[in-house]
Amino acid sequence: MSITAVIAEDEPILRAQLKAKLARLWPQLRIVADVGDGEAALQAIEEHQPDLAFLDIQMPEMTGVEVARSLASNPQHKCHLVFVTAFDQYAVQAFEADAVDYVLKPYSDERLQATVERLQARIGQGAAAPAQDLQALMARLSATLAPQAQPLRWIKASVGQNLRLIAIDDVLFFQSDEKYTLVATADCDALIRTPIKEILEGIDPARFWQIHRSTIVNVAAVEAVTRDFRGQATVKVRGRKENLSVSRPFSHLFKQM
């Protein structure tokens, strides 16, 4: 029984090259499917139950890591995974610690030869892919590949029919009612569904002050602060007509230093 493999690589030239090289270095290997995106890769693996899968990491629809995670959650699969990836320092560090194979693009024939030999040895021993380790590895990998939790810099908001990305620094103030949060900038009013509380978690508290249960104001945009006879402060924002009231728990923000 011949050994089967699935190749998943979104760039056609590289896909063809890998296919050609494998055919030359490992003639017994039967490539049952070569696909261009993550979803197709998962489908092909489920369908053909190959012994090997060569997965690119950056792919449309699903990344290679996601495909691997989904496979690892199903212990029936005995598919050995080989990641084929371009230079990515963190991912490489993650791979090096574990028994999963990886090939760094661009690769030489020798490098691929070594991988092929290792795979042949492992399949010869009848060793299954270490599902448990794979799960942990993939979790770590997705953590390193996922974008770091960045402070909120852009807000995706709808302006009329359109969606627009609004830079957080352009926002003059946020004001929420029951359903929506108004994102007010100098030239438009946009709406988002994120409540004030969640916005607060993502923004720089030095530049955005909460002045009311339902209002956050950009400090740099404050034009005037007025107080009425009860000491109730209202904030006027540059370029806007609104007067935002400062509720008492937040009024210390505008006290004199």
Partner 1 sequence: MFKAFGSFIHKTPWWAMVAGGLLVLIGLVMFAVPIQVIRLHDSGATPQERKAIDREINLAFGDTALNFAEDVVRAMRERAHDPDRQRELDHALSEIARAKKELSAAQTDVSRAARESAQESADAALEAALEAADAALDAAVEARQAVEEARDDALALLKNRGLDFSATAASFDAMLKTARDNEKAAREALQSIKTLRQDKAAAERPAAEAPTPEKSKHSGIHIQIPASPSVTPLPDGLRGEIRSKVGGDVWRIGVGSALILAFIPLFVLLLISKYFIGRSRRALAVAEEKTEQAQLSELSRQITEARLQALQAQVEPHFLYNTLANVQALTEVDASAAHRMVGHLIAYLRASLPKMREHTSTVGQELELVRAYLNILQMRMGERLQFAVDVPSVLLDKPFPPMMLPSLVENAIKHGLEPLREGGRIDVLVTQITTPAGERIRVQVRDSGKGLGEAATPGGGVGLTNVRERLAALYGDKAQFCIESNSPRGVVASIEIPTELPAAAPTAAAGAARAASAGAASAPASATAPASPWRRVVHLGSQSHSVWVQVVSRILAVLMVLLCGAFVLALVGLYTGWMPVQVGDLRLDGVEGMALGSVGLLAGFGVVALAILFVVAVLYGLGFFLAALLLLIPLVILVSIFPVAAPFILIALAIYWSVRRRNRKLP
Query: Contact residues for partner 1 (CB under 8 A)?
Result: 10-14, 16-17, 20, 36-37, 39-40, 58, 60-61, 86-88, 104-107, 147-148, 150, 153-156, 159, 162-165, 167, 169, 205-207, 209-210, 219-222, 224-230, 232-233, 235, 247-250, 252-257
Collapsed DSSP state (helix, strand, coil) of residue 53: strand
Q: Measured between alpha carbons, how far is 148 from 126 in angstroms, rounded to an integer?
A: 39
Collapsed DSSP state (helix, strand, coil) of residue 8: strand
Residue closer to partner 1, measured from CB, 35 or 71: 35
Nearest Cα residue to 240 out of 185, 193, 169, 198: 185
Q: Measured between alpha carbons, how far is 62 from 68 in angstroms, rounded to an integer?
A: 10
Least distance CB 66 / partner 1 (angstroms) = 12
Residue closer to partner 1, measured from CB, 1 or 206: 206
Roughly what angle, to the nearest 10 degrees, separates helices 64-72 and 131-145?
Answer: 150
249 contacts: CB under 8 Å, gap ≥ 6: none
Least distance CB 144 / partner 1 (angstroms) = 14
Residue closer to partner 1, measured from CB, 134 or 221: 221
Least distance CB 84 / partner 1 (angstroms) = 9
73 CA to centre of own chain: 20
216 phi/psi in degrees, rounded to 5: -125, 135
Least distance CB 13 / partner 1 (angstroms) = 5
Least distance CB 225 / partner 1 (angstroms) = 5
Residue closer to partner 1, measured from CB, 61 or 242: 61
Collapsed DSSP state (helix, strand, coil) of residue 24: helix
Residue closer to partner 1, measured from CB, 10 or 51: 10
Least distance CB 131 / partner 1 (angstroms) = 27
Residue closer to partner 1, measured from CB, 179 or 252: 252
DSSP state of 251: G
